[in-house]
Amino acid sequence: MKRLLFAATLIAAVAPVLAADVGVSVSIGQPGFYGRLDIGGYPQPQLIYRQPMMIERVAADRPPIYLRVPPGHAKNWRKHCGKYNACGERVYFVQDNWYQRQYVPRYQEHQQGQRGDGREDDRGHNDGHGNKGDKGDKGDKGKK
């Protein structure tokens, strides 16, 4: 009985640690992305509040940051600022409508421009013999 109780306690203590290893990567433009936005070169953002939020004292020479956050995080910013590493920043919250209609399309256009013309995926491998992505069975050539 003691072993069973010890095993159950050990599993309960280790389970949260194991669950913390699960990582999810969500990038800008995908549903569920919340975080810092670089608004340089974008149209003036529509903001949730006209004044920036500040939880801790902020150095005046640092520029404010712009965030997209889930509903409710901006209202209760003191509780959520640590998740964004932004408690010591002047923070403007962008409206979701502006993010979806202005920021995401321009961001995606810019990303496509970085990859080329968008017709070919650059992740293929070229072995130098015109065989793009074909690894073949090169180890057996010449062997009989």
Give per-residue pLDDT as tens, 49-106.
999 999 988 877 889 999 999 989 999 999 999 999 999 999 999 999 999 999 999 8
**Domain total in the chain:** 1
Q: Is residue 90 part of a domain?
A: yes
Q: What is the dihedral of CA 116, 119, 124, 128, to 10 degrees?
A: -80
Give the pLDDT of residue 95.
96
Identify the helix (H) or strand (E) that includes residue 65. Answer: strand 65-68
- Residue 141 in this model has a pLDDT that exceeds 60: no
- Residue 1 in this model has a pLDDT that exceeds 80: no
Q: For the sheet containing 35-37, what is the strand order?
A: 35-37, 65-68, 91-93
Helix (H, G, I), strand (E, B) or coil at 119: coil
The residue ranking higher by pLDDT, 96 or 114, is 96
Domain of residue 51 covers 26-118
DSSP assignment string, 9-40: HHHHHHHHHHHTT------TTSTT--EEE--T
Q: Is residue 68 part of a domain?
A: yes
**Is the pTM above the cut of 0.85?**
no
Cβ atoms of 91 and 53 within 8 Å: the answer is yes
The string of pLDDT tens digits covering residues 15-25 is 544 444 444 45
Cα-only R_g, the chain: 24
User: From the DSSP assignment, how many helices (H) and strands (E) are in the chain?
Assistant: 4, 3
Give the pLDDT of residue 36.
94
Sorted by sequence, the CB contacts under 8 Å of residue 39 that are 6+ apart come out as 45, 66, 94, 103
Q: Is residue 13 part of a domain?
A: no
Q: Is residue 106 part of a domain?
A: yes
Q: Is residue 135 part of a domain?
A: no
Q: Is residue 49 part of a domain?
A: yes
Give the pLDDT of residue 84.
95
- Highest mean pLDDT: which of 2-6, 38-42, 130-134? 38-42
Q: What integer is the mean pLDDT of 22-31? A: 63
- Residue 116 in this model has a pLDDT that exceeds 80: no
Report residue 123's pLDDT band, with 50, 70 and 90 as the boundaries: very low
- CA dist 67 and 131 (Å) reads 45
The residue ranking higher by pLDDT, 2 or 77, is 77
